[in-house]
């Protein structure tokens, strides 16, 4: 072996020159080549995060290729400047996923990589940890004597450190001894000393909201349905193979318990796990529960938490734990699908139908669809769970592409709440005018107040200003070509279809029943709150919506007051529906069930059904049965009728039939293309030119609808237009479409955005 001094010389001679191709994170899509200096060679791998010189700047980049052809012009290459982490920040599976996303979502690769690597991680925030020095190999007396003669500073440092029991802070020791950093560096390079890093851990623990909650830690004994579901999942997760399973289980059927068992199985098989929850459901309460259950079921496995409210330090630490393999489970919202979990075996997507899984800025990816792709790249399993699956997922399961498991019973056979549908057309006749709260709902609320039980009133905020619905007969005008509700444009008093652009002037009277004043005014939460106070002056009422709840703490405060029984009636938008259990709530009222049904969106009925089921799930979770009152102008609608029995399959069958007739998703894919610019005529002109160009180029590979003005025509003095494309397969056309788009002569003042598989047309 010889002494460490001679060995390092030997290494220098035999190492080959290392060249890497780097994807710069700097707003352009290109692979740039660099040389790796000997001293860094061992830290540089596929997926390493580097700092590289470009012009006079240093920027970040990810190693996309290691090595280069033999005849590569090496001489002109620059050296990389720094290796940010000494392990791959973007493991190969994530790099492959990024490349797939870049194609599928027609988005630049550098932006996708930035989405995958949190800003704090790229900045290496909190990792400016203190460097420690320790002796790696003792020198022989002979070598030490030589060193003392040749480099007294180095010898001094060595002699000090060799007398220490544990590593010593580098800057401190250099300062104390008056030794330069270069001396330390030389000894490190020769393998005599070793540098170590010391980090302070700041893993996010549950904050005050969850403190004081009693968290049940003991695993439940599975009931028959749960056991059957778990048995079916076991072989899927215990060995590496790709597959997707839909777990369709009614609210309260105990899906979480099945997820946990599957997770345990994956961990036992040595795998890593990603658990995705919609951001709104990711309350500290949920996290605390999951954590304690995970730790009970699989001791020693701490879960990393991943959401948008983490501090930089917490985020970097959590990321670091996963990337180095110190932790194997992550629980988080959409972006946790990119967590650097090693040896990934299982991805769980809870509430897979939630539109919140779709990111509404570039890259516009769908967390669930990306989860399926990531599972595929890793030969892992993807478990999608919901009481009301998206029709896309449902259709995949029906077609046999996904496994399909059912859980039809609630735990302990608890009753589903009774759903009472109130026909608001009759209420209006009875009260001779508009009314916010039906007699039925008022009666039930008074009854709850007498008994000391609580009520939640939900308002449906979506689609609020853009629909036009007759309040006598419930009629809403639909586009004859697209079968979606037309959008009311105030500026020119018109109704337009924003899929195809079909237009007519807005009627003053209802086209069906001739009732006057069809124009929608809507009921805000404020109006509902006032109505409640009018009919029940004694009740303690609180309102909770985006306007009143700007501050996060206020939101929590109201919820804890409600939980403590200091509020009788809580009025709010959908945001109070998710992930919260209030055992004393025995009445839930949905004030305006129709609004989401009249969204100008072919998914309007699907969303309404989901909302109804979710709202119903809020009532009677304790040992008391609950009542749900649904106020609607269209009681005969399928979404409402099927929701009374929580009959998802019945609803899905009816809805899929109409989707098929119009060849909407899941029967075809939809791509949205939007255009913005200051000059409306110019915008319209270019949008039309473009749409005709697409038609000419693609023929029947794409069906083009539009251009038409966006539902909100103007934002901040920018006008907006849109075009829709329907296609049988995104991957078959997206590359060509993107190329055509990049080659098209867009004026500088028009900005355009592509959105593949949009989840909302509103």
**Could you list the residues that contact ligand ADP (CB under 6 A)?**
220-223, 226, 249, 251-257, 411
CA–CA dist 667, 660 (Å, integer): 6
Q: For residues 408 and 534, which CB has a smaller minimum distance to ligand ADP in the complex?
A: 408
The 8-class DSSP code of residue 486 comes to P
Q: For residues 80 and 419, which CB has a smaller minimum distance to ligand ADP in the complex?
A: 419
CA–CA dist 355, 364 (Å, integer): 12
Q: For residues 361 and 412, which CB has a smaller minimum distance to ligand ADP in the complex?
A: 412
Q: For residues 342 and 574, which CB has a smaller minimum distance to ligand ADP in the complex?
A: 574
CB of 393 to ligand ADP, least distance (A): 16
CB of 295 to ligand ADP, least distance (A): 16
E-strand ranges in 461-581 read 487-489, 494-496, 503-505, 541-544, 569-572
CB of 461 to ligand ADP, least distance (A): 24
CB under 8 Å to 205, separation ≥6 — which residues?
A: none
Q: For residues 501 and 626, which CB has a smaller minimum distance to ligand ADP in the complex?
A: 626
CB of 266 to ligand ADP, least distance (A): 18
CA–CA dist 491, 647 (Å, integer): 41
CB of 245 to Zn ion, least distance (A): 37
Contact present, 117 and 137 (Cβ < 8 Å): no
Residue 367 interacts, among ligand ADP, Zn ion, none and using kind-specific CB cut-offs from 5 to 8 Å, with: none
Kindly state the tokens that stand for 367.
Answer: 């967390």
CA–CA dist 196, 753 (Å, integer): 47
Please select the residue that binds Zn ion; options are 250, 344, 479, 604, rule is CB under 5 A: 479
Residue 226 interacts, among Zn ion, ligand ADP, none and using kind-specific CB cut-offs from 5 to 8 Å, with: ligand ADP
Question: Buried (b) or exposed (e) across 275-285, using 16+ Cβ within 10 A?
Answer: bbbbbbbbbbb
HSE-CB of 244 using CA atoms within 13 angstroms: 25
CA–CA dist 393, 606 (Å, integer): 13
- Tell me whether strands 329-332 and 18-24 are parallel, antiparallel or unpaired: unpaired
Residue 499 interacts, among Zn ion, ligand ADP, none and using kind-specific CB cut-offs from 5 to 8 Å, with: Zn ion
Kindly state the greatest CA–CA separation across the chain. 107
- Interaction residues for Zn ion, span 424-453 (CB under 5 A): none
Residue 720 interacts, among ligand ADP, Zn ion, none and using kind-specific CB cut-offs from 5 to 8 Å, with: none
Q: Kindly state the helix (H) or strand (E) to which residue 454 belongs, with its residue range.
A: strand 454-458
Q: For residues 91 and 252, which CB has a smaller minimum distance to ligand ADP in the complex?
A: 252
Contact present, 262 and 230 (Cβ < 8 Å): yes
Q: For residues 256 and 727, which CB has a smaller minimum distance to ligand ADP in the complex?
A: 256
CB of 498 to Zn ion, least distance (A): 8
Q: For residues 223 and 301, which CB has a smaller minimum distance to ligand ADP in the complex?
A: 223
Q: For residues 44 and 479, which CB has a smaller minimum distance to Zn ion in the complex?
A: 479
Residue 500 interacts, among ligand ADP, Zn ion, none and using kind-specific CB cut-offs from 5 to 8 Å, with: Zn ion
CB of 360 to Zn ion, least distance (A): 23
Residue 481 interacts, among Zn ion, ligand ADP, none and using kind-specific CB cut-offs from 5 to 8 Å, with: Zn ion
The 8-class DSSP code of residue 358 comes to B
The 8-class DSSP code of residue 90 comes to S
Residue 758 interacts, among ligand ADP, Zn ion, none and using kind-specific CB cut-offs from 5 to 8 Å, with: none
- Contact between 482 and Zn ion by CB under 5 A: the answer reads yes
Interface pattern 486-525 for Zn ion (x via CB under 5 A): -----------x-xx-x-----------------------
Dihedral sign, CA of 67, 68, 72, 77?
Answer: negative
Q: For residues 24 and 284, which CB has a smaller minimum distance to ligand ADP in the complex?
A: 284
Residue 482 interacts, among Zn ion, ligand ADP, none and using kind-specific CB cut-offs from 5 to 8 Å, with: Zn ion
CA–CA dist 410, 114 (Å, integer): 42
Residue 589 interacts, among ligand ADP, Zn ion, none and using kind-specific CB cut-offs from 5 to 8 Å, with: none
Angle between helices 439-451 and 525-535 (to 10 degrees): 60
Binding site for Zn ion (CB under 5 A): 479, 481-482, 497, 499-500, 502
């Amino acid at each position: 072996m010889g002494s460490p001094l001679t060995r390092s010389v030997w290494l220098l001679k035999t190492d080959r020159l290392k060249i890497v191709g780097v994807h710069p994170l700097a707003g352009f899509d290109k692979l740039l080549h660099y040389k790796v200096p000997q001293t860094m060679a061992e830290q540089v791998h596929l997926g390493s995060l580097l700092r590289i010189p470009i012009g006079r700047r240093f920027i970040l980049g990810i190693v996309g290729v290691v090595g280069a052809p033999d005849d590569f012009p090496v001489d002109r290459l620059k050296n990389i400047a720094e290796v940010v982490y000494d392990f791959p920040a973007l493991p190969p599976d994530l790099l492959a996923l990024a490349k797939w996303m870049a194609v599928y979502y027609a988005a630049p690769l550098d932006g996708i990589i930035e989405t995958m690597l949190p800003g704090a991680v790229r900045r290496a925030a909190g990792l400016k940890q203190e460097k420690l020095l320790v002796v790696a190999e003792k020198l022989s007396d002979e070598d030490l004597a030589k060193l003392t003669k040749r480099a007294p500073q180095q010898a001094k440092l060595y002699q000090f450190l060799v007398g220490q029991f544990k590593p010593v802070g580098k800057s401190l020791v250099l300062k104390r001894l008056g030794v330069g950093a270069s001396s330390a560096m030389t000894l490190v390079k020769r393998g005599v000393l070793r540098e170590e890093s010391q980090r302070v851990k700041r893993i996010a623990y549950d904050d005050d909201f969850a403190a004081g909650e009693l968290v049940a830690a003991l695993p439940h004994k599975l009931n028959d349905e749960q056991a059957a579901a778990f048995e079916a999942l076991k072989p899927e997760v215990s060995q590496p193979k790709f597959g997707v399973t839909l777990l369709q289980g009614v609210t309260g059927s105990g899906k979480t318990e099945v997820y946990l068992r599957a997770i345990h199985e994956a961990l036992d098989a040595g795998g890593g796990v990603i658990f995705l929850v919609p951001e709104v459901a990711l309350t500290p309460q949920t996290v605390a529960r999951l954590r304690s259950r995970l730790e009970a079921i699989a001791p020693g496995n701490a879960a990393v938490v991943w959401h948008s409210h983490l501090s930089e330090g917490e985020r970097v630490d959590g990321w670091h734990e996963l990337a180095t393999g110190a932790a194997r489970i992550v629980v988080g919202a959409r972006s946790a699908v990119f967590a650097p979990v090693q040896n990934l075996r299982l991805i769980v997507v809870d509430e897979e139908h939630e539109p919140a899984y779709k990111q509404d800025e570039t890259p516009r990816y769908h967390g669930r669809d990306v989860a399926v792709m990531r599972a595929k790249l890793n030969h892992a399993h993807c478990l999608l769970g919901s009481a009301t699956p998206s029709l896309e997922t449902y259709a995949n399961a029906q077609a046999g592409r996904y496994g399909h498991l059912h859980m039809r019973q609630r735990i302990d056979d608890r009753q589903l709440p009774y759903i009472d549908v109130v026909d608001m057309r009759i209420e209006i006749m009875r009260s001779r005018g508009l009314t916010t709260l039906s007699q039925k709902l008022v009666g039930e609320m008074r009854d709850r107040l007498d008994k000391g039980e609580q009520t939640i009133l939900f308002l449906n905020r979506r689609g609020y200003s853009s629909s036009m619905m007759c309040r006598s007969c419930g009629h809403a005008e639909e586009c004859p070509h697209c079968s979606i509700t037309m959008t009311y444009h105030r500026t020119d008093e018109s109704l337009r279809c924003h899929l195809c652009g079909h237009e007519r002037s807005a009627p003053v009277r209802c086209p069906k029943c001739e009732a006057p004043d069809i124009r929608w005014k809507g009921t805000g939460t404020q109006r509902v709150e006032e109505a409640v106070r009018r009919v029940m002056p004694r009740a303690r009422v609180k309102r909770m919506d985006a306007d009143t709840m700007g501050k996060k703490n206020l939101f929590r405060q109201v919820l804890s007051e409600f939980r403590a029984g200091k509020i009788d009636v809580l009025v709010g938008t959908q945001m109070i529906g998710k992930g919260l259990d209030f055992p004393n709530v025995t009445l839930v009222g949905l004030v305006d069930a129709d609004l989401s049904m009249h969204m100008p969106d072919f998914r309007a009925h699907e969303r309404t059904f989901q909302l109804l089921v979710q709202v119903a799930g809020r009532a009677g979770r304790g040992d008391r049965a609950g009542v749900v009152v649904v106020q609607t102008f269209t009681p005969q609608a399928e979404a409402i009728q099927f929701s009374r029995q929580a009959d998802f399959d019945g609803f899905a069958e009816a809805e899929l039939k109409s989707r098929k007739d119009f060849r909407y998703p899941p029967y075809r894919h939809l791509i949205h293309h939007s255009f913005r610019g200051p000059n409306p005529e110019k915008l319209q002109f270019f949008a039309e030119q473009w749409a005709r160009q697409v038609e000419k180029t693609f023929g029947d590979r794409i069906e083009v609808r539009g251009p038409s003005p966006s539902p909100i025509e103007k934002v901040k003095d920018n006008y907006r237009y849109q075009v829709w494309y329907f296609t049988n397969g995104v991957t078959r056309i997206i590359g060509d479409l993107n190329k055509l788009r990049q080659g098209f002569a867009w004026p500088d003042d028009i900005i355009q955005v592509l959105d593949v598989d949009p989840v909302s047309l509103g």
